Chains A and B, each alone.
Chain A
Amino acid sequence: EAGVTQFPSHSVIEKGQTVTLRCDPISGHDNLYWYRRVMGKEIKFLLHFVKESKQDESGMPNNRFLAERTGGTYSTLKVQPAELEDSGVYFCASSLYSSGGYYEQYFGPGTRLTVT
């Protein structure tokens, strides 16, 4: 069974440019999550999809971030325009269920975003 995959693994862009990160969850996992780790800080929740619907986007920093999950399969996270403070590692995770807190999430390797 393939795990969660993310693309690209690294991205270096200039301030003001646009970047789109992609996440492919484990097949059959309706729940997809985005997290971010800014250097020196803890990993923080960004948002949660159930199929194609945004269930919780309380962690999205501002309206420069746009997440989509058309068709309930893969998801994209677009940052437009990127700012220096957006640099960090963006993790995607998926899980089969979310109604119980005990269901583990499976994480991708992350995308390291550097904004210069």
Chain B
Amino acid sequence: AQSVTQLDSHVSVSEGTPVLLRCNYSSSYSPSLFWYVQHPNKGLQLLLKYTSAATLVKGINGFEAEFKKSETSFHLTKPSAHMSDAAEYFCVVSDLTTSGTYKYIFGTGTRLKVLA
């Protein structure tokens, strides 16, 4: 079975400074990985996904993530944080089920706080 580990439950950055949210995965095959964001009182929104094409994936709102197989990592970055980036971020791996379909396995989430 696949799994993901988000190494930080909370991250605080100052507005205008870089953001790094860490995610490590465990997979017995080439994984599909996703980052989702949840703003307060909103649903989960897809930021970006890795599906074995380019290892550097660009997403919405200036976020990007790099798939590193040797490190089993898929860290999320942004060069300059904005106040509106304050939210909870989830790293997700797609897991093959016994019925041949896929379900999501979520990390525990990282709450990003952006300081003015």
Contact = CB atoms under 8 A, between A and B. Distances in A.
A85 to B, nearest CB: 18
Nearest to A102: B51
Given A45-B103, A55-B99, A98-B102, A104 B49 contact: yes
Given A42-B106, A44-B106, A107-B36, A98 B44 contact: no
* Interface size range on A against B: 20 to 34
A105 B32 contact: no
A33 B103 contact: yes
A101 B94 contact: yes
B36 to A, nearest CB: 7
Contact of B34 (A44, A104, A110): A104
A63 interface: no
Interface in B12-62: 31-32, 34, 36, 41-46, 49, 51-52
Interface string A41-77: 1111100101000011011000000000000000000
B82 to A, nearest CB: 23
B105 A101 contact: no
A55 B94 contact: no
A35 B49 CA distance: 19
Interface string A74-116: 0000000000000000010100001111111111111000000
Nearest to B96: A101
Interface of B: 31-32, 34, 36, 41-46, 49, 51-52, 90, 94-109
